[in-house]
Structure 1
Amino acid sequence: MPHISIKHFPAELTQQERKDLSDVISSSIQSALQCSEDVISISMEEVAPESWTADVYQPEIAAKRQYLIKQPNY
């Protein structure tokens, strides 16, 4: 606990950029949830733009609006 799942359009990220992103997210989660870094897991999954609505928007955004802490503006 906790697990953060990032789904995004395809993007070219270097290993260093992925590490930097992970570090920033981990630091914020540690601070907010008062947990240690070693219990945090983070995944990144590329989703093709043509699959976004069916694979991400409908099941994870529209169907779970009550859990969103930030709403998309699209």
Structure 2
Amino acid sequence: MPHIIVKIVGQSEEDKKIIAAALTDTLSKTLGISGDFISLSIEDVLKDNWMEDVYKPEIIEKPKNLYKKPGYDPL
């Protein structure tokens, strides 16, 4: 029963619904399970807070959990 957490800057509610549906569909197909077993949350992050709220704790401090590295370096 996977749970997906998306942290994102400045997206509309409509875009969030599209993102949630696409990620749910992809994970469902990849794992061969019903979308009913998948939950997903989207957390809004202010652009000015990205370094402290996301980049440092999620990317720098948890490299073993990172399966897709960002193509940017804000440092």
The structural deviation recorded for 1:43 is 0.7
Equivalent residue, structure 2, for 1:18:
16
RMSD: 1.4
TM-score by length of 1: 0.83
CA distance 1:7–1:21, shift in 2 (3 Å): same
Moved over 3 A (4+): none
TM-score by length of 2: 0.82
1:66 alignment partner, one of 58, 64, 67: 64
**Take 2:11 and 2:47, find their aligned partners in 1: how far apart are those partners?**
11
Aligned length: 72
- Comparing both chains, which one has the higher relative contact order based on Cα–Cα distances under 8 Å and sequence gaps of 6 or more? 1
After superposition, residues 1-74 of structure 1 pair within 5 angstroms as 1-14=1-14, 17-74=15-72
Structure 1: 5+ residue runs without aligned partners?
Answer: none
Structure 2: 5+ residue runs without aligned partners?
Answer: none
1:14-53 Cα shifts (integer Å, max 9, x gaps): 2xx3333222111110122222211101111110111111
